[in-house]
Chains A and B, each alone.
Chain A
Amino acid sequence: MSKTHVTTTVNGDPAEFLVSPRMTLLDALRDELGLTGAKEGCGSGDCGACSVVLDGRLVCSCLVLAAEAEGCRIETIEGMAQGGQLHPLQQKFLEHAALQCGFCTPGLLVASKALLDVNPDPTETEVRYWLAGNLCRCTGYDKIIRAVMDAAAELRQERTAA
């Protein structure tokens, strides 16, 4: 089978890999680059566990062919903590116990960060609609929403202080 050479930037670093035409970006991240933070929950774009940011857009990496990522910037959960320092969203997820089994958590964190990057002061309704494509079968969502709202407040404070 013919393989395509794909050149990308992943979490700020150049990353190249060989892909078969039908390989998804999720499989390339996990199997070619060893970045196993993004999870395959459904493989059909319904659950959001594979969420990554592709050229500034939140997407399901299971719904993108790896070959489509040529020349793209990709941000994954692995790029969220900075040098061992958790991102405020990650810290708040811990504090609010916003995870149980943790399978959905990377996708929820990536999706929540994408929201706060464009909307630092979302209403609870906005958070719930934005995260409607991220399914969690453990928490009942309430703690996740509280953690996101709390992280947003903290990030706003940090910005004001800076």
Chain B
Amino acid sequence: MSEVAYLAPSSPEAAAAALARAGAQPLSGGTDLLVQLRAGRSRPDVIVDLKSVPGAIGVREAAGGFVIGAATSGAVLGEHTALVKAWPGIVEGANLIGSTQVQGRASLGGNLCNASPAADGVPALVAARAVCVIVGPNGRREAPVEAIATGPGKTSLAQGEFILEFRLPPRPARASDAYLRLIPRTEMDIAVAGAGVNLVLDAAGAVTEANVALGAVAPTVLLVADAGAALVGGKLDEASLAKMEAAVRAACRPISDKRGTVEYRTRIAGVLARRAALIAYQRAGA
């Protein structure tokens, strides 16, 4: 076995410098990385543990919106009452990943950067229009969540870059979100398809802003602008829901595999988006 080093840098700059080295691999909760190490699918020379970087773990409120440390475990997110109240869809997506044990470690940053098309933590983050704060050798930059994964297992992050935190927009009074996925059992499985919907309503209950994101129906999580636009202006009447479903199905580019066929995934993506929209609408206090 080749020489491997473990580093736990305590500043963002030190982490970026460590990750800039050839063969460096970031470690967050480790629930994907340790499996890949064991299987020989990842062979890093340096493992850079990001959990000691200030800001990487924890949830805080800043400038009217929540900031989620990218390495914060699902268990911590689920216990954060204020975050659950404002963004129940983001938290339910994160909490669907794996078992209780996995929830004790697995993070949204890791889930995003592992870049599985079926990542349960990602669609609701995309629908929330969350922004990644990325630290690298040349300083900080920001990018929307949907710009990170470029295909299965691939990201747009440059060597040395890592996601420090996710910034969520300020939450108006009548707004909420939801995430639903389909699996053939009740727990501990990978999504056949998933849908995250984020809605903002006006005082009369009409939708003023809507974002719909899909998982497991394309090489990356999709933000479907037409689907969101179909819901704006109405109160989730049947015509707008049908239009939204059609836009969702038109955007799907899934594969057929043992979890589901192209036809099945495309069909249920629409169903999931509709149901998630109805849940988000109810949660928003309509």
Contacts and interface: CB of A to CB of B under 8 A. Distances in A.
Interface of A: 1-2, 4, 20-22, 24, 43-45, 48, 51, 54, 57-60, 62-65, 67-68, 70, 111, 114-115, 129-134
Contacts of A48: 99, 101
A3 to B, nearest CB: 10
A45 B35 contact: yes
Nearest to A64: B30
Nearest to A4: B6
A52 to B, nearest CB: 9
A86 to B, nearest CB: 23
- Taking residues whose C-beta sits less than 8 angstroms from the other chain, chain B's interface range is 20 to 34
B100 A111 contact: yes
A1 B4 CA distance: 8
Contacts of B188: 132-133
A131 B104 CA distance: 13
B98 interface: yes
Contact of A63 (B4, B30, B100): B30
B187 A129 contact: yes
Nearest to B49: A68
Interface of B: 1, 3-6, 8, 27, 29-31, 34-35, 37-38, 47, 49, 51, 73, 75, 98-102, 104-105, 187-188
Nearest to B99: A133
A132 B189 CA distance: 11
A65 B47 CA distance: 10
A57 B105 CA distance: 8
Given A45-B31, A64-B30, A132-B188, A111 B6 contact: no
Centre residue among B35, B51, B101, B104 by max chain A CB count within 10 A: B101
Contact of A57 (B8, B34, B38, B73): B73
A111 B101 CA distance: 8
Nearest to A44: B35
15 contacts: A22-B1, A22-B47, A43-B38, A44-B35, A45-B99, A54-B104, A58-B100, A58-B104, A64-B105, A65-B47, A68-B49, A115-B100, A129-B187, A133-B99, A133-B101
Nearest to B35: A44
A123 to B, nearest CB: 15
Contacts of B98: 45, 133
Contacts of B37: 22
A2 B35 contact: no
A131 B187 CA distance: 11
A60 B102 contact: yes
A45 B34 contact: yes
A59 B101 contact: yes
A131 to B, nearest CB: 8
A22 B4 contact: yes
A43 B38 CA distance: 8
A15 B73 CA distance: 25
Given A59-B104, A63-B102, A2 B187 contact: no
Given A45-B98, A51-B101, A59-B104, A65 B27 contact: yes
A62 B100 contact: no
B47 A21 contact: yes
Given A54-B104, A59-B105, A68-B8, 17 more contacts: A21-B6, A22-B1, A22-B47, A43-B38, A45-B34, A45-B99, A48-B101, A60-B105, A64-B105, A65-B47, A68-B27, A70-B8, A111-B101, A132-B187, A132-B188, A133-B99, A134-B99
